């Protein structure tokens, strides 16, 4: 470290002089820092483009899915309360007549009154081993094991309460919901699904219970071992659904069935007619959303490619910012950031590709529906720079007339470019462009990756570090020079004082 001496001998403000000299020396470093800031801003601009490309790629991916335009609307006439219906991706247009003759019901078993419940002494939250039966004996001790619908449930009476046991039943795979009614002191066991889904083989009408002869079921839960011998007053057998679809009657083990891609839920006895057709409103909305994203992306490209570059507006230094208001800084930096992607080759090529895809003619098997323009989506004038407008009436007509051709226009796929639809081509081209942008700018503005701009930033950081060290050396050199000057002046002053004292004193004597 260089010793720094103030200008006592010379009377000069050495610190200020060195500071002024260093301003000139710092010019190359300032230029490097400004260059680094421009590269960082350019990188941020590329990443903003990639964010928009991701949005467009996702929109294209969504539209190229087979289910994207296979949107159906179901009108229910007749007894609308007999059924409900929902279209799946494979729904087929047409009419389905549903006559519900019987809905499927769930099996249920109600226990006897639990005589051992004498609130609050025999609380269902207490361990079973602490409870008493009607003879004041321990209700149950040791372990227990029961089987419901073929599923075994075990536990320990020393730790498990009635509510603990019911929770085990409810969370098991027995397919049963057990509910304790404190008012009636009974337990209701209800199958979770309607129909003949009970028993070990899940094909029975009633819930089955077994305790291996231990007596646990009757003693604690108030139900008998139920296999073939049913307690008719407490057991409700499940029933299957009986339904006629387009004249064909069948028994169903459930109230939910799928016909021609339509999920039908049987709700009550009655006859209903389902008319399945394309949901034109939903398809129009889906295509318009895609066009909006396309236009948004094209607009961003055109802005970036034609943005004016203000080369006289370089990034501000910290010293410059100190002399400006926040609004002035904002306006300055807007101009400094402007035009960083002007004329970019990657964006230019992609813009041309997007416009080419949007105006191409496709082989859909229909001469009436073979391009975006044919379904009412096109540019209106040269000044629009490729922006697409939607003639909704014409789009609706195309969807209503030939939805299959509209699907092919967007979704068809194949080995060659000519065999691909708009959404497929667009997805592929945008995915390729995103890779190109990532190679140029990386994927994270805070990470110095192996992208082109990432390497530029690495190089600039290294050069800036070298210049910072060089400036330290230069500043130290200046202080050494001024220190030597101060020391020389000080020696001269001391010699002058000595001579003045010596020779001046001799003359007086």
Assigned domain for 314 exists: no
pLDDT at 230: 46
Residues 165 and 196 in one domain: yes
pLDDT at 508: 46
Asked if 372 and 378 count as a contact pair (C-beta separation under 8 A), the reply is: yes
pLDDT at 507: 45
Assigned domain for 367 exists: yes
Residues 218 and 146 in one domain: yes
Assigned domain for 5 exists: no
Assigned domain for 63 exists: yes
In whole angstroms, what is the distance from residue 253 CA to residue 197 CA? 7
What mean pLDDT, rounded, does the chain reach? Answer: 89
Q: Which of 453, 478, 502 is the last residue of a domain?
A: 453
Residue 116 domain boundaries? 108-236
pLDDT at 480: 83
Residues 31 and 175 in one domain: no
Tell me which of 124-133, 137-146, 231-240, 348-357 is least confident. Answer: 231-240
Length of the chain: 509
Tens of pLDDT, residues 262-288: 999 999 999 999 999 999 999 999 999
Residues 119 and 197 in one domain: yes
Assigned domain for 89 exists: yes
- CB proximity list for 107: less than 8 A, separation 6 or greater: 190, 191, 198, 204, 205, 206, 207, 235, 236, 237, 238
Residues 190 and 121 in one domain: yes
Assigned domain for 325 exists: no
Confidence of residue 243 (pLDDT cuts 50, 70, 90): very high
Residues 405 and 286 in one domain: yes
Burial class (CB in 10 A: 0-12, 13-18, 19+), 111: buried
For residue 91, is pLDDT > 90?
no
SS (H, E, C) 39-89: HHHHHHHHHHHHHHHHHHHHHHHHHHCCCCCCCEEEEEEECCCCEEEEECC
Confidence of residue 116 (pLDDT cuts 50, 70, 90): confident
For residue 161, is pLDDT > 60?
yes
Owner of token pair 């609004």: 327
For residue 291, is pLDDT > 80?
yes
Q: Which of 411, 438, 453 is the last residue of a domain?
A: 453
In whole angstroms, what is the distance from residue 274 CA to residue 85 CA? 8
Residues 268 and 299 in one domain: no
Tens of pLDDT, residues 2-49: 555 555 556 677 778 877 887 888 888 889 999 999 999 999 999 999
Note the pTM of the prediction, 2 decimals. 0.70
Task: With both helix axes pointing from N to C terminus, report the angle between 280-306 and 27-64 in degrees, rounded to the nearest 10.
Answer: 160
Residues 116 and 227 in one domain: yes
Burial class (CB in 10 A: 0-12, 13-18, 19+), 106: buried
Assigned domain for 429 exists: yes
The domain that holds 139 is classified in CATH as 3.30.70
Tell me which of 88-92, 107-111, 157-161 is least confident. Answer: 88-92
Residues 394 and 296 in one domain: yes
Residues 291 and 419 in one domain: yes
Residues 395 and 349 in one domain: yes
Q: What is the DSSP letter of 307?
A: P
Q: Read off the pLDDT of each residue in 134-158 and give the average, rounded to a whole number.
A: 93
pLDDT at 74: 93
Number of domains comprising the chain: 3
Q: What are phi and psi of 423, to 5 degrees?
A: -65, -35
Residues 300 and 432 in one domain: yes
Q: Which of 453, 474, 504 is the last residue of a domain?
A: 453
In whole angstroms, what is the distance from residue 308 CA to residue 342 CA? 7
Assigned domain for 210 exists: yes
Long-range contacts of range 453-460, CB-CB < 8 Å, 24 or more positions apart? 453/39, 453/42, 453/43, 453/46, 454/43, 456/39, 457/36, 457/39, 457/40, 457/43, 460/32, 460/35, 460/36, 460/39
More confident residue, 504 or 227: 504
């Amino acid at each position: 470290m260089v010793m720094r001496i103030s200008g006592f001998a010379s009377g000069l403000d050495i610190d200020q002089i060195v500071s002024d000299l260093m301003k000139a020396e710092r010019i190359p470093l300032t230029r490097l820092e400004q260059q680094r800031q421009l590269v960082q801003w350019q990188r941020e601009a590329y990443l903003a483009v990639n964010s928009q490309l991701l949005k467009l790629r996702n929109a294209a991916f969504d539209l190229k899915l087979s289910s994207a335009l296979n949107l159906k609307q179901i009108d229910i006439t007749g007894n609308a309360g007999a059924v409900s219906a929902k279209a799946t991706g494979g729904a087929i247009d047409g009419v389905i007549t549903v006559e519900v003759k019987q809905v499927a019901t769930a099996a249920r078993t109600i226990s006897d009154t639990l005589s051992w419940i004498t609130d609050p002494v025999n609380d269902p939250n207490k361990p079973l081993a602490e409870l008493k039966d009607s003879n004041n004996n321990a209700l149950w001790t040791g372990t227990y094991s029961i089987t419901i619908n073929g599923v075994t449930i075990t536990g320990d009476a020393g730790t498990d309460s009635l509510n603990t046991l019911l929770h085990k039943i409810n969370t098991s795979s027995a397919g049963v919901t057990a509910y304790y009614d404190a008012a009636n002191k009974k337990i209701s066991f209800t199958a979770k699904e309607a129909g003949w889904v009970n028993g070990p083989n899940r094909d029975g009408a009633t819930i089955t219970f077994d305790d291996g002869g231990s007596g646990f079921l009757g003693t604690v839960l108030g139900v008998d071992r139920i296999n073939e011998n049913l307690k008719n007053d407490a057991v409700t057998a499940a029933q299957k659904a009986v339904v006629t679809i387009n004249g064909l009657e069948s028994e169903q083990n459930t109230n939910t069935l799928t016909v021609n891609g339509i999920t039908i839920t049987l709700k009550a006895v009655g006859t209903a007619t389902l008319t399945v057709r394309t949901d034109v409103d939903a398809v129009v909305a889906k295509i318009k959303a895609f066009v909006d994203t396309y236009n948004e992306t094209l607009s961003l490209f055109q802005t970036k490619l034609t943005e004016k570059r203000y080369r006289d507006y370089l990034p501000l230094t910290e010293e410059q910012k100190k002399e400006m208001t926040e609004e002035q800084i904002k306006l300055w930096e807007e101009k400094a950031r402007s035009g960083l992607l002007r004329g970019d080759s990657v964006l230019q090529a992609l813009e041309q590709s997007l416009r080419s895809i949007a105006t191409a003619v496709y082989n859909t098997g229909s001469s009436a529906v073979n391009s975006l323009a044919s379904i009412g989506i096109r540019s209106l004038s040269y000044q629009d720079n490729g922006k697409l407008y939607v003639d909704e009436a014409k789009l609706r007509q195309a969807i209503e007339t030939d939805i299959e051709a509209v699907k092919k226009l967007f979704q068809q796929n194949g080995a060659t470019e000519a065999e691909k639809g708009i959404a497929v081509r667009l997805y592929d081209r945008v995915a390729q462009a995103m890779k190109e942008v990532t190679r140029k700018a990386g994927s994270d503005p805070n990470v110095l990756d192996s992208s082109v701009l990432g390497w530029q930033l690495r190089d600039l950081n290294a050069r800036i570090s070298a210049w910072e060290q060089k400036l330290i050396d230069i500043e130290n050199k200046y202080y050494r020079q001024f220190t030597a000057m101060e020391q020389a002046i000080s020696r001269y002053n001391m010699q002058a004082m000595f001579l003045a004292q010596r020779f001046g004193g001799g003359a007086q004597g």
